[in-house]
């Protein structure tokens, strides 16, 4: 158990694997639309990236790797900006 977060290591590991799966899903989801006439749904794309990155951050708070923690923090911020832009674009189109 982490002294900083109080999260058991097994839970942190599960969060890490779930986060990794969501980030890989988001990348695959976006890639599946490459060259197609439709665009990927930005809420699925950025939402999966945001939740995935946050789950990886939880994992990294227990088993700390500073470089990976910085990467996932930036990944979360980028996904958050993408979601905000998608919300703003949806508001303009409504």
Whether 3 maps to a domain, the answer reads no
Whether 70 maps to a domain, the answer reads yes
Whether 4 maps to a domain, the answer reads no
Count Cβ atoms below 10 Å from residue 89 Cβ, excluding itself: 11
- CA–CA dist 20, 25 (Å, integer): 8
Region for residue 35 given its phi and psi (left: phi exceeds 0; alpha: psi -120 to 50; beta: otherwise): left
Write out the residue range of the structural domain in which residue 37 sits.
9-93
What is the pTM for the complete model shown?
Answer: 0.85
Whether 62 maps to a domain, the answer reads yes
Each residue's pLDDT tens digit, 50-84: 999 999 999 998 888 899 999 999 999 999 999 99
User: pLDDT class for 2, splitting at 50, 70, 90?
Assistant: low
User: pLDDT class for 3, splitting at 50, 70, 90?
Assistant: low
Please give the radius of gyration of the chain, using alpha carbons only, rounded to the nearest integer. Answer: 15
Each residue's pLDDT tens digit, 42-56: 999 999 999 999 999
């Amino acid at each position: 158990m982490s002294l900083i977060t109080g999260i058991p290591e097994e839970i942190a590991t599960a969060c890490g694997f779930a986060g990794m799966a969501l980030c890989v899903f988001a990348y695959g989801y976006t890639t599946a639309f490459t060259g197609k006439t439709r665009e990927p749904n930005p809420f699925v794309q950025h939402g999966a990236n945001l939740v995935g990155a946050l789950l990886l951050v939880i994992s990294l708070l227990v088993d700390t790797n500073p470089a990976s923690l910085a990467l996932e923090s930036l990944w979360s911020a980028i996904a958050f900006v993408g979601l905000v832009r998608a919300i703003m674009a949806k508001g303009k189109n409504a």
